[in-house]
Structure 1
Amino acid sequence: MATFEPHNNRYSQEDVQRILQLAIARQADDQDKEFSYELLSEIAGELDISPDCLQLAERDWRSQQSEIQQRKAFDAYRLSKFKKRLGNFAIVNTVLISINFLATSGHILVLPWSLYILLFWGLKVGLDFWNNFHTKGEEYEMAFQKWYRKNQLKQTANTVLQTANTLVNRWFKALQI
């Protein structure tokens, strides 16, 4: 087996990050292998990374993970809405085509009026499909931000309602004494 001899002894920060990332990926036999914060601190110390810098990096990483989870939740929400629209499309158009078929006594040569509804609504469903599964670009980002703000508002409203409910319950308990 040939030994690795480096061509130069200096690497850019980006090169160091890539090399270490590849080395860690190759060393980890088990994908579920976890590292303690102490080990992370020790590795950072060996690389001359200050504890403050490590904490800031960890905070940034947690923020990124939170956003990734939010985006997954948003994508799941969009998928469930799309499935509902697709189900509505299938049920309504099946009924309309059946009514049209029965109204024309099964004559296939008659151009069914329900076909127009199927085609125009199908165009809308196709565009919805494209918009839901095209997850890059400004429209996606705007839709995500709108959904995120709406969810934050719901969470804030729920927190306020729970707090108000708790205060009212305490007030009623105090009155009963």
Structure 2
Amino acid sequence: MLMEKNMETYSEEQVDQILRYALAKRTNGQNLTKQQVYEIASDMGVSEADFLASVQEWQSKQAVRKEQVEFDKYKKKSLQSNVLKFAIVNSFLVALNLFTSGKIGWAIYPLLFWGLGVVLDTWVTYQSESEEYEKQFQKWLRKQKRDQLTAQITDKLTTSLEEWLK
């Protein structure tokens, strides 16, 4: 057993890291069953109710994290599309302006203003801790749920209609 005289204290983050290292050595990279995790928690004095609540909270956070990963993919794909449109349209405008007047004149304005919009969109896309990002994520999440509900209702109506017509 460890020496009782050594009363070092650890922060919650340090305890988490130490236990992760210990579990990694114990399991040799294998997954643990829920029962095994409960037994470890029980040995640490965690009640069954606290353990189950923690598992439920972890699962909930994992679901939200999965949705955020999907949202990030959506945002990055949308940004790529916007940058491509920006490049194509402004290349054409600059070329047209150069061809007609021999210099860049009026084409600089759409380039600058649209470019500012692209830069701001890029900033929001990669700032996942911002309030604007959270607003966009919540809006996207509501739209996803609405689309999912619409698809379910449409499927049920289609199935009911097909059965009725038979």
In the superposition, the TM-score normalised over structure 1's length comes to 0.79
Aligned to 2:123: 130
In angstroms, what is the RMSD of aligned CA positions?
A: 2.4
Label 1:48 to 1:111 Cα distance change in 2 as closer, same or farther (>3 A): closer
Give the Cα separation in 1 of the matches to 2:45 and 2:161. Answer: 54
The structure, 1 or 2, with the larger RCO (C-alpha pairs under 8 Å, 6+ apart) is: 1
**Once the two structures are superposed, what CA deviation does each residue of 1:91-131 show, in whole Å capped at 9, x if it has no partner?**
10111111112212xx3xx3422122212211111111111
Please say if 1:115 is aligned against 2:108.
yes
Aligned to 2:142: 149
Label 1:124 to 1:75 Cα distance change in 2 as closer, same or farther (>3 A): same
Q: Offset at 1:29?
A: 5.0
Please say if 1:66 is aligned against 2:63.
yes
SS of corresponding position for 1:7: coil
Give the Cα separation in 2 of the matches to 1:40 and 1:111. Answer: 67
In percent, how many aligned pairs have the same letter? 30
Please say if 1:98 is aligned against 2:95.
yes
Aligned to 1:8: 7
How many residue pairs get matched?
163
In the superposition, the TM-score normalised over structure 2's length comes to 0.84
Radius of gyration: which is bigger? 1
Aligned to 2:41: 44
Q: Offset at 1:154?
A: 1.1
Q: Which amino acid aligns with 2:144?
A: N
Unaligned runs of 5+ in 1: none
Aligned structure 1 segments of 4 or more residues deviating by more than 6 angstroms: none
**Once the two structures are superposed, what CA deviation does each residue of 1:6-27 show, in whole Å capped at 9, x if it has no partner?**
6217x67836445323432455
Q: Which amino acid aligns with 1:89?
A: F
Q: Which amino acid aligns with 2:105?
A: P
Which sits farther off after the overlay, 135-144 or 56-65? Answer: 135-144
Instruction: Indicate conservation of the 8 Å contact 2:97/2:104, yes or no.
Output: no
